[in-house]
Homo-oligomer: A and B are copies of this chain.
Amino acid sequence: MALSAGVAGASAAGLTSCGKGDDEPSASGANMRTYGERAPQEKTQRVIRELSASPGTGSSRTPLQDLYGIITPSALHYERHHAGVPAIDPAKHSLLVHGLVDKPLIFTMDDIRRFPATSRITFLECGGNVVGEQRGIFPETVQGSHGLLSGSQWTGVPLGLILREAGLKPEAKWMLAEGADACRMARSIPIEKALDPEVLVAYGQNGEALRPENGYPLRLIIPGWEGNTNVKWLHRLHLTAEPAMSAKETAYYTEIRPDGKAEIFTFVMEARSVITRPSGGQKLTSQGFHEIVGLAWTGRGKIRQVEVSVDNGKTWAEAELQEPVLSKALTAFRFPWRWNGEEVVIQCRCTDETGYLQPTREELIAVRGLNSGYHYNGLRPWRVKATGEVVSA
């Protein structure tokens, strides 16, 4: 391997007792802390994009190019808010279940914590992630293109247990889940999905309480479904016979087809993959061995295979998947590569356990046209220039 590690020129004998360098202390270090923080040298951060003059209305993107594995640090989980992050006191927060139920109920947070709980590692992705690429807008970094994507371990109560406590009437076919943010962001969920044991009313994220920007103290988690159905700051479940046709399921989060009609209730996030290193904005500083790493995920179960091409799409070879490969979770992959210093396009594609193969942009546009962009899941090539610079291809 062409590592740049230098052979220690001097005999190592003089270093056997201690390899002390400039940065290595000879006095005791800092004290312990009750709640830790990252090292001051670490600067990776979410990139914020405000979409309105109202504070907190917009998105912040996860720095996928800097992260490892399948769990996103909660501090770097992507955000997408429609009316900012409300400050909710969990001691006063409650969840109302009403509508077509036998007995309307209000649950406090203490009530909810009395139910049996379950934990699940899953990805969460905004339905608008990669939205521009269908129309030919290619951000220069993976944070810009795919950063509305994160992975967490969520903990909470299966929603079905709460609904059964209230008792569903036979005519209850839909459930409106509403958040306590100022805009009362709300989505209609078909009752069969609401009763899926995978669906959680979650209060835990990565071992501790939800973060404020992730719905503290309570949110819906629907593994594999578009982000905004995973309603944050959840305070109301309204059981109904028909969908509510809320703003966020009619005016937004729908896909305009080539014939001008809109697809609505397109819930499932289909298989996607992207190379995170090397990716746009990074630079290879030497020829020789580089590991290509990235993420694959699908709302339909497990990732079965990831393939990588390092020759402008002419040939593809299988990447190694990092265990554990979990259903509806981020799956990390890696691929050993020897760069010969020539300009080349690298890219990846994935197949999920249903046999679905991630499409090229051309294949996707042939079906969906150019009117829309939600749920875009085309391939994402990166160009490695002879200088080592990596740019959008």
**A residues near B, CB below 8 A?**
1, 3-8, 12, 15-16, 18-39, 41-42, 44-48, 50, 54-60, 66-77, 79, 81, 83-94, 96, 98-99, 103-108, 110-111, 114-119, 121, 153, 155, 165, 178, 180-182, 184, 204, 206-213, 216-217, 235-236, 238, 289-291, 293, 322, 324, 326, 332, 334, 336
Known: A26-B182, A30-B86, A32-B50. 8 other contacts (CB 8 A): A8-B105, A23-B93, A28-B54, A28-B57, A28-B83, A29-B85, A39-B217, A68-B117
Chain B residues with CB under 8 Å of A45's CB are 34-35
A12 cross-chain contacts in B, Cβ below 8 A: 96, 98-99, 104
Inter-chain CA distance A70–B182, complex, in Å, is 34
Contact across chains for A114 and B4 when beta carbons are under 8 A apart: yes
The answer for the CA separation of A2 and B295 in the assembled complex, in Å, is: 44
How many Å lie between the Cα of A76 and that of B33 in the bound state? Answer: 9
Which residues does chain B contribute within 8 Å of A92, judged by CB atoms?
21-23
Q: Which of B7, B69, B111 meets A3, CB within 8 Å?
A: B111
Q: Verify B114–A39 contact, CB threshold 8 A.
A: no
| Distance, CA A121 to CA B324, complexed state (A) | 9
The answer to whether A60 and B46 have CB atoms under 8 Å apart is: no
Most buried by B among A23, A45, A90, A238: A23
